[in-house]
Structure 1
Amino acid sequence: MTPLFLDPGLLRKRVSLQAADLVSDGSGGTVPNWREVAEVSVRVEPVSVQAAERFERREATITHRVICRARDDVDRGMSFVLGNRRLVVVSVHDPDESRRYLVCRCQEEV
Protein backbone atom coordinates (compact mmCIF):
# COMPACT_ATOMS: atom_id res chain seq x y z
CA MET A 1 0.00 0.00 0.00
CA THR A 2 1.35 3.41 -0.97
CA PRO A 3 1.52 5.77 2.01
CA LEU A 4 -0.90 8.68 1.90
CA PHE A 5 0.86 12.01 1.37
CA LEU A 6 -0.36 14.72 3.71
CA ASP A 7 1.46 17.99 4.02
CA PRO A 8 2.02 18.53 7.78
CA GLY A 9 1.81 22.28 7.08
CA LEU A 10 -1.94 21.81 6.56
CA LEU A 11 -2.40 21.08 10.28
CA ARG A 12 -2.65 24.80 11.12
CA LYS A 13 -5.48 25.08 13.62
CA ARG A 14 -4.87 24.47 17.32
CA VAL A 15 -7.83 22.85 19.03
CA SER A 16 -8.63 21.29 22.36
CA LEU A 17 -9.21 17.53 22.26
CA GLN A 18 -11.75 16.74 24.97
CA ALA A 19 -13.28 13.62 26.52
CA ALA A 20 -16.71 13.45 28.13
CA ASP A 21 -17.18 12.25 31.69
CA LEU A 22 -20.88 11.45 32.16
CA VAL A 23 -22.36 12.83 35.38
CA SER A 24 -25.86 12.45 36.77
CA ASP A 25 -28.33 15.19 35.91
CA GLY A 26 -30.45 14.50 39.01
CA SER A 27 -33.37 13.19 36.93
CA GLY A 28 -32.08 9.70 36.22
CA GLY A 29 -30.12 10.71 33.12
CA THR A 30 -26.60 11.88 32.46
CA VAL A 31 -24.94 14.94 30.95
CA PRO A 32 -21.39 15.19 29.61
CA ASN A 33 -18.80 17.03 31.67
CA TRP A 34 -16.04 17.81 29.13
CA ARG A 35 -12.37 17.75 30.18
CA GLU A 36 -9.36 18.61 28.05
CA VAL A 37 -7.12 15.69 27.13
CA ALA A 38 -4.65 17.53 24.91
CA GLU A 39 -4.15 20.48 22.61
CA VAL A 40 -3.52 19.32 19.03
CA SER A 41 -2.93 20.77 15.56
CA VAL A 42 -5.57 19.80 13.01
CA ARG A 43 -6.98 20.48 9.58
CA VAL A 44 -10.77 20.97 9.57
CA GLU A 45 -12.65 20.39 6.31
CA PRO A 46 -16.42 20.91 6.04
CA VAL A 47 -18.09 17.88 4.45
CA SER A 48 -21.87 18.31 4.43
CA VAL A 49 -24.90 20.13 5.76
CA GLN A 50 -28.30 18.48 5.99
CA ALA A 51 -31.33 20.60 6.83
CA ALA A 52 -34.44 19.08 8.40
CA GLU A 53 -37.56 20.10 10.24
CA ARG A 54 -38.20 18.61 13.63
CA PHE A 55 -41.06 19.52 15.95
CA GLU A 56 -41.85 22.54 13.74
CA ARG A 57 -38.25 23.73 14.07
CA ARG A 58 -35.57 23.89 11.41
CA GLU A 59 -32.40 22.02 12.30
CA ALA A 60 -29.15 21.36 10.51
CA THR A 61 -26.63 18.55 10.80
CA ILE A 62 -23.15 19.80 9.92
CA THR A 63 -20.34 17.31 9.38
CA HIS A 64 -16.58 17.83 9.14
CA ARG A 65 -13.45 15.83 8.45
CA VAL A 66 -10.73 16.54 11.00
CA ILE A 67 -7.19 15.38 10.24
CA CYS A 68 -4.57 15.20 13.00
CA ARG A 69 -1.34 13.39 13.78
CA ALA A 70 -1.93 9.85 15.03
CA ARG A 71 -2.63 9.47 18.74
CA ASP A 72 -3.67 6.37 20.65
CA ASP A 73 -6.19 8.23 22.81
CA VAL A 74 -8.54 9.61 20.11
CA ASP A 75 -11.84 7.72 20.13
CA ARG A 76 -15.51 8.03 19.20
CA GLY A 77 -17.47 10.30 21.51
CA MET A 78 -14.56 12.66 22.13
CA SER A 79 -14.64 16.16 20.66
CA PHE A 80 -12.46 18.82 19.11
CA VAL A 81 -13.20 22.33 20.39
CA LEU A 82 -12.44 25.08 17.92
CA GLY A 83 -13.28 28.49 19.41
CA ASN A 84 -16.93 28.20 20.48
CA ARG A 85 -17.61 25.21 18.19
CA ARG A 86 -17.63 21.59 19.36
CA LEU A 87 -17.00 18.87 16.76
CA VAL A 88 -17.99 15.48 18.22
CA VAL A 89 -16.02 12.52 16.84
CA VAL A 90 -18.26 9.97 15.10
CA SER A 91 -15.52 7.76 13.60
CA VAL A 92 -11.72 7.54 13.63
CA HIS A 93 -9.50 5.79 11.13
CA ASP A 94 -5.91 5.64 9.93
CA PRO A 95 -6.23 6.30 6.17
CA ASP A 96 -3.15 4.34 5.07
CA GLU A 97 -2.45 2.28 8.22
CA SER A 98 0.94 3.96 8.68
CA ARG A 99 0.13 5.33 12.18
CA ARG A 100 1.09 8.84 11.01
CA TYR A 101 -2.31 10.54 10.70
CA LEU A 102 -5.91 10.05 11.80
CA VAL A 103 -8.99 11.09 9.87
CA CYS A 104 -11.94 11.79 12.16
CA ARG A 105 -15.50 12.20 10.89
CA CYS A 106 -17.18 14.70 13.18
CA GLN A 107 -20.60 16.20 13.72
CA GLU A 108 -20.87 19.79 14.89
CA GLU A 109 -23.02 20.42 17.97
CA VAL A 110 -25.44 23.24 17.27
Structure 2
Amino acid sequence: MQATFIDPGALRSEFALEQCTTTPDGFGGHTESWVEIATLFARIEPIIVQSTFGADQTLETATHRVTVRWREGLKSGMRFRRNQRVLGIVTVHDPDETQRYLVCRAKEQGA
Protein backbone atom coordinates (compact mmCIF):
# COMPACT_ATOMS: atom_id res chain seq x y z
CA MET A 1 0.00 0.00 0.00
CA GLN A 2 1.35 3.41 -1.00
CA ALA A 3 1.69 5.94 1.84
CA THR A 4 -0.24 9.16 1.31
CA PHE A 5 1.93 12.30 1.40
CA ILE A 6 0.47 15.28 3.21
CA ASP A 7 2.53 18.44 3.49
CA PRO A 8 2.90 19.06 7.26
CA GLY A 9 2.81 22.80 6.54
CA ALA A 10 -0.78 22.42 5.37
CA LEU A 11 -1.83 21.60 8.95
CA ARG A 12 -1.99 25.25 9.94
CA SER A 13 -5.48 25.78 11.41
CA GLU A 14 -5.52 25.41 15.20
CA PHE A 15 -8.58 23.70 16.70
CA ALA A 16 -9.59 22.49 20.14
CA LEU A 17 -10.69 18.85 20.19
CA GLU A 18 -13.70 18.46 22.48
CA GLN A 19 -15.55 15.49 23.92
CA CYS A 20 -19.08 15.49 25.32
CA THR A 21 -19.60 14.51 28.95
CA THR A 22 -22.98 13.90 30.58
CA THR A 23 -23.93 14.53 34.20
CA PRO A 24 -27.14 13.21 35.79
CA ASP A 25 -29.48 16.06 36.69
CA GLY A 26 -31.20 14.22 39.55
CA PHE A 27 -34.56 14.08 37.76
CA GLY A 28 -33.90 11.12 35.48
CA GLY A 29 -32.25 13.17 32.74
CA HIS A 30 -28.81 14.56 32.21
CA THR A 31 -26.95 17.69 31.20
CA GLU A 32 -24.32 17.73 28.48
CA SER A 33 -21.12 19.75 28.53
CA TRP A 34 -18.14 19.82 26.18
CA VAL A 35 -14.63 19.40 27.58
CA GLU A 36 -11.48 20.31 25.67
CA ILE A 37 -9.14 17.32 25.59
CA ALA A 38 -6.44 18.51 23.16
CA THR A 39 -5.30 21.24 20.80
CA LEU A 40 -4.70 20.06 17.23
CA PHE A 41 -3.47 21.61 14.01
CA ALA A 42 -5.48 20.65 10.94
CA ARG A 43 -6.01 21.17 7.24
CA ILE A 44 -9.64 21.99 6.57
CA GLU A 45 -11.25 21.69 3.13
CA PRO A 46 -14.90 22.43 2.33
CA ILE A 47 -16.64 19.55 0.54
CA ILE A 48 -20.35 20.32 0.26
CA VAL A 49 -22.45 23.36 1.08
CA GLN A 50 -26.18 23.03 0.65
CA SER A 51 -29.39 24.81 1.56
CA THR A 52 -32.56 23.00 2.47
CA PHE A 53 -35.87 24.84 2.70
CA GLY A 54 -38.62 23.47 4.89
CA ALA A 55 -41.01 24.47 7.68
CA ASP A 56 -40.81 28.07 6.49
CA GLN A 57 -37.06 28.33 7.10
CA THR A 58 -33.76 27.67 5.35
CA LEU A 59 -31.24 25.28 6.89
CA GLU A 60 -27.63 25.67 5.77
CA THR A 61 -25.26 22.68 6.02
CA ALA A 62 -21.52 22.73 5.36
CA THR A 63 -19.47 19.53 5.28
CA HIS A 64 -15.67 19.61 5.51
CA ARG A 65 -12.71 17.25 5.23
CA VAL A 66 -10.40 17.81 8.21
CA THR A 67 -6.93 16.23 8.19
CA VAL A 68 -4.93 15.96 11.44
CA ARG A 69 -1.89 14.05 12.63
CA TRP A 70 -2.80 10.54 13.83
CA ARG A 71 -4.09 10.49 17.38
CA GLU A 72 -5.30 7.61 19.55
CA GLY A 73 -8.93 7.93 20.61
CA LEU A 74 -10.14 10.45 18.02
CA LYS A 75 -13.65 9.29 17.03
CA SER A 76 -17.01 10.32 15.66
CA GLY A 77 -19.19 12.18 18.14
CA MET A 78 -16.34 14.47 19.17
CA ARG A 79 -15.97 17.95 17.72
CA PHE A 80 -13.42 20.51 16.62
CA ARG A 81 -13.87 24.09 17.87
CA ARG A 82 -12.15 27.31 16.89
CA ASN A 83 -13.63 30.32 18.67
CA GLN A 84 -17.35 30.22 17.73
CA ARG A 85 -16.85 27.81 14.82
CA VAL A 86 -17.85 24.21 15.68
CA LEU A 87 -17.30 21.17 13.45
CA GLY A 88 -19.02 17.97 14.60
CA ILE A 89 -17.00 14.86 13.65
CA VAL A 90 -19.08 12.40 11.60
CA THR A 91 -16.43 9.90 10.43
CA VAL A 92 -12.73 9.25 11.11
CA HIS A 93 -10.38 7.11 9.04
CA ASP A 94 -6.67 6.47 8.48
CA PRO A 95 -6.33 6.93 4.69
CA ASP A 96 -3.32 4.64 4.18
CA GLU A 97 -3.30 2.72 7.49
CA THR A 98 0.16 4.01 8.47
CA GLN A 99 -0.99 5.84 11.63
CA ARG A 100 0.46 9.10 10.34
CA TYR A 101 -2.72 11.07 9.60
CA LEU A 102 -6.45 10.88 10.21
CA VAL A 103 -9.03 12.26 7.82
CA CYS A 104 -12.33 13.31 9.39
CA ARG A 105 -15.60 14.23 7.71
CA ALA A 106 -17.20 16.98 9.80
CA LYS A 107 -20.40 19.02 9.63
CA GLU A 108 -20.26 22.65 10.61
CA GLN A 109 -22.79 23.44 13.28
CA GLY A 110 -24.63 26.70 12.95
CA ALA A 111 -23.52 27.18 9.35
| TM-score, scaled to structure 2 | 0.90
1:41 equivalent in structure 2:
41
- Paired position in structure 2 for 1:51: 51
Residue identity opposite 1:53 in structure 2: F
Q: Does 1:94 align with 2:106?
A: no
Segment drifting more, 27-36 vs 12-21: 27-36
Distance 1:65 1:9 in 2: 17
Unaligned runs of 5+ in 2: none
Give 1:105's aligned amino acid: R
- DSSP-derived class of the 1:99 partner: coil
Q: What is the deviation of 1:54?
A: 2.6
Residues 20 and 45 of structure 1, relative CA distance in 2, 3 Å threshold = same
1:1-110 equivalence runs, <5 A: 1-23=1-23, 30-110=30-110
CA–CA distance in structure 2, aligned partners of residues 10 and 47 of structure 1: 17
1:76 partner SS: coil
Q: Using a 3 Å threshold, how does the CA distance of structure 1 residues 18 and 97 change in structure 2: closer, same or farther?
A: same
- Secondary structure, counterpart of 2:3 in structure 1: coil
Q: Which runs of 5+ in 1 are unaligned?
A: none
- Aligned-partner Cα distance in 2 for 1:7–1:97: 17
Q: What is the CA RMSD across the aligned residues, in angstroms? A: 1.7
**CA separation of 1:82 and 1:22: change in aligned 2, threshold 3 A:** same
Segment of structure 1 superposing worse, 86-95 or 16-25: 16-25
The change in CA–CA distance for 1:28 and 1:109 in structure 2 (over 3 A counts) is: farther
Secondary structure in 1 matching 2:9: helix
Question: CA–CA distance in 2 between the matches of 1:93 and 1:73?
Answer: 12
